[in-house]
Amino acid sequence: MLLKLIPVGAFAADLVKFVDVRLWPADEYTRVTLEHAGAIKYKYFLIENPWRMVIDLLDMRLDSTLKELTSRLHPDDPYVQQIRVGQYDTNTVRLVFDLKTEVKPEIFTIDPIAEYKNRFVVDFYPKKPADPLLTLLQKSEDPAARNDEISRALRLAESETNGGLKMEGVAPDKAPSKAANKTEVAKTQPNTPVEKKPAPQMKRMITVAIDPGHGGEDPGAVGKGGTYEKNVVLAISKKLKAEIDKMPGMRAMLTRNGDFFVPLNTRVQKARSVSADLFVSVHADAFIRPTAGGSSVYVLSERGATSTAAKWIANKENASDLIGGVNIKGTDSQLARVLLDLSTTAQINDSLKLGDAVLGKLGKVNRLHKPRVEQAGFAVLRAPDIPSILVETAFISNPAEETKLRDPDHQQELAEAIAKGIANYFAKNPPVARTPLT
């Protein structure tokens, strides 16, 4: 059955040349990228039983690059079963994606940027996206931790249904816990004010969101020896997660666990959706001068950057969305941006304390690029309610540091140093009961 036919107005160039085709399979979504020179005119439709997505590229001839798409498919791709490519008629190239399940596709184009020419992007999202909190719960093997989490999730759900307001104005006989009230009344004389007992201190798990920078179409900085920032920071982040998970009462989640791109505000939303207590974005710097080196830690700034170098780094990191490829017309990114503009002084103050603690420990395993935490307008640090830092572990553009960044032992040292810094921060600043922001 034909579900939809969406023609998109674009002027076809006489000759569209394909440069490369890439596939980025991940549980969250599978991305297909066709990189080309010139504009593409296309239409697409979905067919069910079984699910297929058909894309017609108009005024086009099938070439050898485009043909390679079929061989780029990974057998473990969560969404795509098979890809077929053919010359449908004299002027149309047809791509057929046989799907493993029902999907929510998004198609968009990206203008040339950085090393890339034009990109035609097809994202296959699951019809029902996985809930990050549930995923985290399933991974909590300790039953006590699970119970704690479940009650926390329930409290969160309750505060949301109450619009985030306390039930103070509710008449006693309408209060949710009738039985509890009766017991309380029986024990006290009429007209005697009910003594307020302090709420039992519930020891809760501390959740650390670890954000491996870049991924997928966005390689991040690339070292002279061909090392990609996205790969080393993922390796360090996984080691950091293991270190945090080993600490009692603490556990970590990764904003990406594979080689795929995650938009900057999605990274922040993921941390918020699991009520993270901290957000640590892991990167590896690059600079024009190969001699630049050392570790640095950044936090958000409300007014301007603390140095031109910090501003330069922030601009470079903020370009991640342009390079990685975000569907700007897609879903609720506008709403997310408004929320993320509510940056608070309190968040920045806590982030500075966290940054100091982490920088102190990094100084034991690597030289420091700057002796103190720097500030600039990093988009990924904009969670208004979560202390957030961005760690530039080392300079990938410095040949000696590039070699060290590739070394699993040094990755482990960096991970342990960051984890110790986080533990130090919590020792001095124990987490408080949270008040939901929205």
Chain residues in the site for Zn ion (CB under 5 A): 213, 220, 283
- Closest to Zn ion by CB, 93 or 212: 212
Which residue of this chain has its Cβ atom nearest to Zn ion in the complex?
283
- Closest to Zn ion by CB, 25 or 220: 220
∠389-390-394 over CA atoms, to 5°? 135
CB of 327 to Zn ion, least distance (A): 22
- Closest to Zn ion by CB, 122 or 262: 262
- Closest to Zn ion by CB, 54 or 222: 222
- Closest to Zn ion by CB, 181 or 257: 257
CB of 229 to Zn ion, least distance (A): 5
CB of 130 to Zn ion, least distance (A): 26
- Closest to Zn ion by CB, 213 or 263: 213
CB of 396 to Zn ion, least distance (A): 9
What lies within 8 Å, CB to CB, of 23 at 6+ separation is 30, 31, 32, 33, 69, 72, 73, 74, 77, 80
List b or e across 80-98, with b for residues whose CB sees 16 or more CB atoms inside 10 angstroms. beebebeebeeebbbbbbe
**Max CA separation in the chain (angstroms):** 91
CB of 187 to Zn ion, least distance (A): 60
The three-class DSSP label of residue 423 is helix
- Closest to Zn ion by CB, 220 or 387: 220
Nearest of 130, 434, 132 to residue 273 by alpha carbon: 132
- Closest to Zn ion by CB, 44 or 261: 261
- Closest to Zn ion by CB, 323 or 386: 323
CB of 234 to Zn ion, least distance (A): 12
What is the spatial distance between Cα 350 and Cα 269, in angstroms, rounded to a whole number? 19
DSSP 48: T
Sole residue written with tokens 């057998």: 75
- Checking phi first, is residue 111 left (phi over 0); if not, alpha (psi -120 to 50) or beta? beta
Is the distance from CB of 97 to CB of 218 less than 8 angstroms? no
Beta strands 388-395 and 278-285, pairing class:
parallel
CB of 380 to Zn ion, least distance (A): 9
Structure tokens at 88: 């449908």
What is the spatial distance between Cα 63 and Cα 92, in angstroms, rounded to a whole number? 12
CB of 369 to Zn ion, least distance (A): 14
- Closest to Zn ion by CB, 270 or 283: 283
Please, what is the end-to-end C-alpha distance for the chain in angstroms? 42
What is the spatial distance between Cα 22 and Cα 215, in angstroms, rounded to a whole number? 13
Structure tokens at 133: 């909190």
What is the spatial distance between Cα 297 and Cα 302, in angstroms, rounded to a whole number? 16
CB of 67 to Zn ion, least distance (A): 34
Nearest of 255, 283, 259 to residue 269 by alpha carbon: 255
How many alpha carbons fall within 13 Å on the CB side of residue 342? 10
CB of 276 to Zn ion, least distance (A): 20
CB of 214 to Zn ion, least distance (A): 6
**3-state DSSP of 374-394:** EEECCHHHCCCCCCEEEEEEE
What is the spatial distance between Cα 43 and Cα 259, in angstroms, rounded to a whole number? 28
- Closest to Zn ion by CB, 55 or 240: 240
What is the spatial distance between Cα 394 and Cα 366, in angstroms, rounded to a whole number? 8
